[in-house]
């Protein structure tokens, strides 16, 4: 039965077939800053680089340019420079300053971000300061970020961090609406880059005076001289050659490297922690400066795939910045197929990342294709024909359905405008139906997925991604409960956070804190059901199946079916998990013959006394960019707490709301959606 459990700002949607032609009259949708919701909690349409007015209207943009501050042929020191340059090039508008540029965007009713690169440097950006701020290789050369002139700047260097802060202040001074911190993971990339550089030919990072000197100080503070000698064979920390020691193992993957030299584990921890402190310091300084100027400071960050990839066994953590940020705006990839720039649907679902980002920050995320994937679209002649129109539309509608946004990557002159018209239909639709999004909405689920962020997630984040996907594909709504590790992020997990769920699934119980283990035990002891792997970590017997604990049950899965599903997409693993979940909870919603291609996300909106249901059709043919339509989609759902008087559907694929016939039998409401094309919203009132 639909009832209040946990609030999110979200709406409900259906995604489907071919994006039709024609959008009607192209209009402008201005963002609002009034009401109880902050602007970034409202429905917005983001683009990557500031677009001129005609493209703003074409794509219904409200936030003009997440990546405005990279570089350009002119005025390259500005956090608005790239967007300002391109917008001016195509609009014909000239700007005397950043303030002028932002002011013109505001006059158009747009929000205007500025961007700060927090790890990547360029001589065109920093000039001679590159030499001062750049990290170094083991040979003392400038560390490379890429092969295109990018330099790896060191977060341990206080001068570099001050430069980043000053760039952020420029955004505040210009009345920019959003500070976007790119590559916030910073020196957390160092050890991964060291391994990668051995195979790509890049000059590695991690050996500048601030890295080696800082690591020397870290070891001196953590260990006594006798411990350094016993553990690592370091007889004199002040003179010991740390550079050569670290460089010896750079060709090894993380697990092999730590096994070969335990000192590397401390080196990784040092780089992670110092980068974390530096980036949090940046955010705190910018918020303090904005407050002193009487201005609002909204900060988001690009943390690639939320730090979930494990290339080379390395974990470049990304979620540890959650408490400091307002929201994540992140490039994503389906990591299990990271060698494929544009993975195919229906497998390529991003819902697990989108739900995780929302849970970590309690705010709506913005998700976008990774730069390499977008570059492949720009450069491949096949895509000049627009053969990604529906592909992009599926990602777009999924993001809004889950409560986030999908950023428009259209960039003149690299792209073709028609590739994004499927997204444009969705952008227009969500803005025209704000009333469905900007009210209290509840994921009324009996199932919770508990994401305990900590060292155990080094091996188990893929377990979460697989479980999140298989639950969605099984039309089992779930909510993510996120908790920190007590190191980077506070521990906040309480019994009340779990008691609303009949079943919780815990992808990782390895190295969780004693407080988290206590809450989990209390939940089960009080009658809850927890599905776990690694039973020995909780003092349970390594036996498959139920183990009673107080009034509840721990259900042990000896095989990590979430991990296996994510990496194989073998439906057997999904069915095995669903069989266990179904044995404990009653289905909230079912769709006949969904076959992992039609996914439902129901939400209860108590103030409006209605339920809004997403239906997402992922049945996409990649070669021809064709969506296979779903006819007569039969849906059954638990009857809400209110009496149902109507069921209707609205969609960007047809102009008017349509009433659907429905039947109420006992506690079940049944109805049929005649045709699922690209993006419908079913409203039960």
- Same domain flag for 513 and 620: no
Q: Kindly tell me if the per-residue pLDDT of 595 is higher than 90.
A: yes
Q: Kindly tell me if the per-residue pLDDT of 7 is higher than 90.
A: no
What are the backbone angles phi and psi of residue 321, rounded to the nearest 5°? -90, 5
Closest CA relative to residue 236, chosen from 211, 249, 219: 219
End of a domain among 547, 563, 582? 582
Find where tokens 């908790």 sit: 483
Residues contacting residue 134 through CB under 8 Å, at least 6 positions apart: 121, 142, 143, 151, 152, 153, 154, 208
Residue 27 near residue 57 (C-beta atoms within 8 A): yes
Worst-scoring range by mean pLDDT, 34-38, 156-160, 434-438? 34-38
Averaged pLDDT, 326-355: 95
Total-model pTM: 0.93
pLDDT in tens, 500-514: 999 999 999 999 999
Worst-scoring range by mean pLDDT, 10-19, 84-93, 338-347? 10-19
Three-state SS string across 56-123, please?
HHHHCCCEECCCCCCCCCCCCCCCCHHHHHHHHHHHCCCCCCHHHHHHHHHHCCCECEEEEECCEECH
- Same domain flag for 548 and 659: no
- Same domain flag for 538 and 660: no
- Same domain flag for 467 and 496: yes
- Same domain flag for 449 and 577: yes
Find where tokens 């909870």 sit: 585
Residue 447 near residue 581 (C-beta atoms within 8 A): yes
Q: Give the rounded percent of residues in the chain with a pLDDT score beyond 70.
A: 93
Strands 545-549 and 552-556: antiparallel
Whether 644 maps to a domain, the answer reads yes
How far is residue 352's CA from residue 160's CA, in Å, rounded to a whole number? Answer: 35
pLDDT-derived band at 656 (thresholds 50, 70, 90) equals confident
How far is residue 65's CA from residue 67's CA, in Å, rounded to a whole number? Answer: 5
Q: In this structure, what CATH number is given to the domain that contains residue 666?
A: 2.60.40.1180
- Same domain flag for 464 and 518: yes
- Same domain flag for 454 and 542: yes
Whether 661 maps to a domain, the answer reads yes
End of a domain among 564, 582, 600? 582
End of a domain among 582, 610, 627? 582
Q: Kindly tell me if the per-residue pLDDT of 74 is higher than 60.
A: no
Whether 494 maps to a domain, the answer reads yes
How far is residue 619's CA from residue 612's CA, in Å, rounded to a whole number? Answer: 22
Q: Kindly tell me if the per-residue pLDDT of 525 is higher than 70.
A: yes
Averaged pLDDT, 320-325: 96
pLDDT in tens, 20-63: 333 333 334 444 444 578 999 999 999 998 999 999 999 999 99
Q: Which residues pair with 121 in a beta bridge?
A: 151
How far is residue 81's CA from residue 97's CA, in Å, rounded to a whole number? Answer: 10
Averaged pLDDT, 71-83: 72
What pLDDT does residue 145 have? 94
Is 434 buried (19+), middle (13-18) or exposed (0-12) by CB count in 10 A? middle
- Is the omega angle on the peptide bond into residue 165 within 30 degrees of 0, that is, cis? no
* Strand ranges in 210-284 using DSSP code E only, listed in sequence order: none
Q: Give the rounded percent of residues in the chain with a pLDDT score beyond 90.
A: 79
pLDDT-derived band at 209 (thresholds 50, 70, 90) equals very high
Whether 597 maps to a domain, the answer reads yes
Whether 36 maps to a domain, the answer reads no
Two structure tokens written together for 245: 């020691």
Two structure tokens written together for 253: 């993957």
pLDDT in tens, 281-292: 999 999 999 999
Whether 555 maps to a domain, the answer reads yes
- Same domain flag for 471 and 527: yes
- Same domain flag for 465 and 515: yes
Worst-scoring range by mean pLDDT, 118-127, 211-220, 633-642? 118-127
Whether 637 maps to a domain, the answer reads yes
Domain that holds residue 617: 589-684
Q: Kindly tell me if the per-residue pLDDT of 251 is higher than 70.
A: yes
Residues contacting residue 259 through CB under 8 Å, at least 6 positions apart: none
Two structure tokens written together for 467: 């479980």
As a whole number, the mean pLDDT across the chain is 91
Four-point Cα dihedral 145, 150, 154, 160, nearest 10: -160
What pLDDT does residue 20 have? 36
- Same domain flag for 679 and 599: yes
Query: How many separate domains does the chain show?
Result: 2
Averaged pLDDT, 372-399: 84
How far is residue 553's CA from residue 546's CA, in Å, rounded to a whole number? Answer: 6
What are the backbone angles phi and psi of residue 378, rounded to the nearest 5°? -65, -40
How far is residue 93's CA from residue 88's CA, in Å, rounded to a whole number? Answer: 5
What are the backbone angles phi and psi of residue 109, rounded to the nearest 5°? 85, 20
What pLDDT does residue 264 have? 98
Which H helix or E strand runs over 244? helix 242-247
Residue 639 is classified by DSSP as: P
Closest CA relative to residue 629, chosen from 673, 585, 669: 673
- Same domain flag for 627 and 558: no
Which H helix or E strand runs over 435? helix 434-437
Whether 482 maps to a domain, the answer reads yes
How far is residue 8's CA from residue 11's CA, in Å, rounded to a whole number? Answer: 9
- Same domain flag for 598 and 569: no
Closest CA relative to residue 424, chosen from 62, 31, 60: 60
How far is residue 122's CA from residue 118's CA, in Å, rounded to a whole number? Answer: 12
What are the backbone angles phi and psi of residue 539, rounded to the nearest 5°? 75, 20
pLDDT-derived band at 10 (thresholds 50, 70, 90) equals very low
Q: Let me know the angle formed at the C-alpha of 433 by 430 and 435, rounded to the nearest 5 degrees.
A: 125
Q: In this structure, what CATH number is given to the domain that contains residue 553?
A: 3.40.50
């Amino acid at each position: 039965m639909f009832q209040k459990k946990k609030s999110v700002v979200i709406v409900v949607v259906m995604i489907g077939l071919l994006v039709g032609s024609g959008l009607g009259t192209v209009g402008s949708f201005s963002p609002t800053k009034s009401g109880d919701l902050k602007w970034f909690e409202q429905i917005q349409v983001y683009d990557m680089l500031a677009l001129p007015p005609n493209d703003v209207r074409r794509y219904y943009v409200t936030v003009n340019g997440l990546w405005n501050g990279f570089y350009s042929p002119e005025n390259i020191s500005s956090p608005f420079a790239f967007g300002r340059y391109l917008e001016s090039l195509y609009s014909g508008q000239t700007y005397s300053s950043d303030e002028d540029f932002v002011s013109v965007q505001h006059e158009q009713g747009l929000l205007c971000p500025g961007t700060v690169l927090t790890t990547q440097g360029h001589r065109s950006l920093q000039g001679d300061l590159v030499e001062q701020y750049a990290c170094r290789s083991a040979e003392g050369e400038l560390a490379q970020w890429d092969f295109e002139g990018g330099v790896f700047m060191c977060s341990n260097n206080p001068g570099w961090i001050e430069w980043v802060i000053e760039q952020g202040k420029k955004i505040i001074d210009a009345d920019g609406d959003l500070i976007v911190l790119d590559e916030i993971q910073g020196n957390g990339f160092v050890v991964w880059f060291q391994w990668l550089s051995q195979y790509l030919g890049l000059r590695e990072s991690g050996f500048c005076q601030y890295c080696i000197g800082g690591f020397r100080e870290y070891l001196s503070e953590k260990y006594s001289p006798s411990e350094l000698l016993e553990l690592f064979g370091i007889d004199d920390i002040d003179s010991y050659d740390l550079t050569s020691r670290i460089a010896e193992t750079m060709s090894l993957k993380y697990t092999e490297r730590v096994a070969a030299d335990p000192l590397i584990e401390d080196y990784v921890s040092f780089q992670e922690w110092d980068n974390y402190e530096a980036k949090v310091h940046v955010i705190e300084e910018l918020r303090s400066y904005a407050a002193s100027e009487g201005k609002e400071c909204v900060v988001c960050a690009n943390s690639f795939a939320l730090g979930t990839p494990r290339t080379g066994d390395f974990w470049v953590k990304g979620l540890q910045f959650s408490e400091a940020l307002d929201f994540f705006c992140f490039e994503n990839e389906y990591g299990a197929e990271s060698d494929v720039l544009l993975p195919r649907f229906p497998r390529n679902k991003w819902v697990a990342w989108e739900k995780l980002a929302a849970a970590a920050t309690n705010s709506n995320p913005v998700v976008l294709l990774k730069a390499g994937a977008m570059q492949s679209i720009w450069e491949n002649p096949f895509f000049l024909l627009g053969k990604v129109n529906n592909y992009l539309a599926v990602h777009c509608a999924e993001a809004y359905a889950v409560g986030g946004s999908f950023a428009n990557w259209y960039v003149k002159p690299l792209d073709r405008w028609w590739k994004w018209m499927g997204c444009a239909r969705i952008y227009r639709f969500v803005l025209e139906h704000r009333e469905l999004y900007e009210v209290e909405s509840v994921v009324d689920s009996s199932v919770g997925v508990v994401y305990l962020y900590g060292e155990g997630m080094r091996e188990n984040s893929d377990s979460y991604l697989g479980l999140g996907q298989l639950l969605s594909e099984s039309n089992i709504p779930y909510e993510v409960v996120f908790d920190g590790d007590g190191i980077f992020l506070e521990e906040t997990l309480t019994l009340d956070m779990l008691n609303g769920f009949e079943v919780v699934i815990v992808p990782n119980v390895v190295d969780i804190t004693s407080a988290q283990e206590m809450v989990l035990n209390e939940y089960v002891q009080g009658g809850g059901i927890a599905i776990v792997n690694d039973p020995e970590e909780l003092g349970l017997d390594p036996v498959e199946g139920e183990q009673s604990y107080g009034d509840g049950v721990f259900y042990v899965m000896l095989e990590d079916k979430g991990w296996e599903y994510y990496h194989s997409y073998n439906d057997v693993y999904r069915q095995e998990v669903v069989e266990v979940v179904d044995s404990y909870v009653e289905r909230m919603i079912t769709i006949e013959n969904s076959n992992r291609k039609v996914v439902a996300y129901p939400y209860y909106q108590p103030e409006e006394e209605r339920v809004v249901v997403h239906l997402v059709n992922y049945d996409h043919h990649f070669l021809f960019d064709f969506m296979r339509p779903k006819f007569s989609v039969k849906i059954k759902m638990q009857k809400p707490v209110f009496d149902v008087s109507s069921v209707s559907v609205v969609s960007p694929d047809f102009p008017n709301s349509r009433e659907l016939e429905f039947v109420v039998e006992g506690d079940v409401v049944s109805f049929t959606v005649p045709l699922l094309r690209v993006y419908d919203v079913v409203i039960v009132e």
